[in-house]
Structure 1
Amino acid sequence: MPEKEKLRIDKYLWAIRLFKTRTMAADACKAGRVKLDGRNIKPSYEVKIGETYQVSKGIERKVIKVTGLLENRTDAKTAVTFYEDLTPVEQTQAFKSMFHAPMLKRDRGTGRPTKRDRREIDDLQDGFLEGKEDGGESVKEE
């Protein structure tokens, strides 16, 4: 792949596959979700090799260091070689653990949940969504 000497940050973030579209990358820059040394940067900012950027995508936070300039979007295996992920392990694990939530599953053929079943399901979900670790009763404010 030929490397360019000048490359816009929005195009770079799109090419290394951090954002699905270049427009999404540009919008993230405009919204202040892409930072260099704590400063917001514009979508037209020129990327330099060796710089470290903080990128926020929803609840996910990434810290990346530029190791090469990639002009066009390529497959994921190639794209990974053009940046180094410096995101702290605790942050990465916390983000991944959010997707391993327990799934409520009912046996097939048991029919609709009864009123009692529904209350138990709601209590379980309330405790999980509130992030309680002690497993105690939840007190609802009225």
Structure 2
Amino acid sequence: MPRLIPSSSSIPKTYPIPGYNHFLTPLRKLIFDYDAESPSQHGIRSFIRKPLINLARENPDVEFVVRRMKRGKAAVLRGHYVNGRDKVICVNKLEMDGVRNKVDLLLNSSGAKIKPLKNLTLEAAPAAESARGVWSALHDQIKDGQGYRI
């Protein structure tokens, strides 16, 4: 079957506009995979009908793709980011609000790998102030137990 290629006049051209109001999200493509007949995927089907259209209008720099999967497959959201990474979230058995929260999670994410903070060691810079402050001879303690002399 021959592949149809759209003419160049039908593809809108985009022009970059400098400024802080023109932030582009790191998310490039958001794919909705769902089964049209599964009762556990009612939430994603209801999200696709109405809120997805408004979301696509609000985010013109993100490509939204809706695909039907084979029967028996779980509904998933796939986010593809500028840095080449992708995130996959299962939205099976979620209501429409839960699907919306997961879509917002993908939209607000940078796509960077999650780094564990449990065993992270922090080192102070060579000229950094210590945790107890800077020692000075002016803050020396008086010998009579009167406190500190300034």
Task: Give TM-score scaled by structure 2 length.
Answer: 0.21
Task: Give TM-score scaled by structure 1 length.
Answer: 0.22
Larger RCO (alpha carbons 8 Å, 6+ apart): 2
Larger Rg: 2
